[in-house]
Amino acid sequence: DAMVIQNPRYQVTQFGKPVTLSCSQTLNHNVMYWYQQKSSQAPKLLFHYYDKDFNNEADTPDNFQSRRPNTSFCFLDIRSPGLGDAAMYLCATSGGRNTEAFFGQGTRLTVV
Amino acid sequence: GQNIDQPTEMTATEGAIVQINCTYQTSGFNGLFWYQQHAGEAPTFLSYNVLDGLEEKGRFSSFLSRSKGYSYLLLKELQMKDSASYLCAVRDPLGTYKYIFGTGTRLKVLA
């Protein structure tokens, strides 16, 4: 059974048109993460939540925003996607200090 | 700064043993994780070390030396399905639970 679910798996959006990616989890984990991964590169952390506490990485562009309305759901909003934002977006969760991160299947974003 | 280095690519033969190295220089350390990632898919957890030494899990083992900032993942009895990228990640200890990933090692297993 999938524990971290991302929708959709594939998303095509137009240049400049706002897009939202969603993530849900059944693990009841405190921490949720959004990573951006481009081809042959490391996953790059955009931001993460510890419960409702939001932690933004210093180099995450303002174009990327996130919401976590409750423990189970987290959203990534890209306000004005550019061609450089085409990537795989990975959502992950963690239960705390001594556990691994669990990843969703990812959403592959294409910008046209 | 944070720096995690892995070889870019490795090739090995089915049935063989391969060792994938990872060196890290991070401002802190609270565990090192190995993930497997097949092309176009999400990373899946393989192994975790927080203390020095070897952790064994079936065909996979991982070793850590904190004083040297060094880890390796050992894969035994290689199978074709082991062809994937292997990502090394360090967890930030500063209470924020961040995982910092290396660029990964692309392993090709040949028949």
What residues of A are in contact with residue B103 (Cβ under 8 Å)? 40-42
- Determine the average pLDDT of the residues in B67-93: 94
- CA B39 to chain centroid, in Å, comes to 16
Q: Give the tens place of pLDDT for each residue, B33-70.
A: 999 999 888 899 999 999 999 999 899 999 999 999 99
Is it the case that residue B92 has pLDDT exceeding 70?
A: yes
Q: Is A42 within 8 Å of B103 when comparing Cβ atoms?
A: yes
Is it the case that residue A47 has pLDDT exceeding 90?
A: yes
A16 confidence band (pLDDT: 50, 70, 90): very high
A14 contacts chain B (CB < 8 A): no
pLDDT confidence of residue A95? 86
A64 confidence band (pLDDT: 50, 70, 90): very high
Q: How far is A15 from chain B (nearest CA, A)?
A: 23
Q: Is B43 within 8 Å of A45 when comparing Cβ atoms?
A: no
Q: How far is B31 from chain A (nearest CA, A)?
A: 8
- Tell me how many degrees the CA angle B47-A43-B63 measures, rounded to the nearest 5: 25
Q: Is A104 within 8 Å of B102 when comparing Cβ atoms?
A: no
Which residue type, as a one-letter code, is found at position A91? C
A103 confidence band (pLDDT: 50, 70, 90): very high
Q: Is B43 within 8 Å of A90 when comparing Cβ atoms?
A: yes
Q: Give the tens place of pLDDT for each residue, A70-99.
A: 999 999 999 999 999 999 999 999 987 668
A86 contacts chain B (CB < 8 A): no
Gyration radius (Cα) of chain A, Å: 13
Residues of B with CB under 8 A from a CB of A: 4, 30-31, 33, 35, 40-45, 48, 50, 87, 89, 96-104, 106
Q: Which residues contact A40 (CB under 8 A, 6 or more apart)?
A: B103, B104, B106
- Determine the average pLDDT of the residues in A40-69: 93
DSSP code at position B41? S
- Residue B102, both tokens: 């290396």
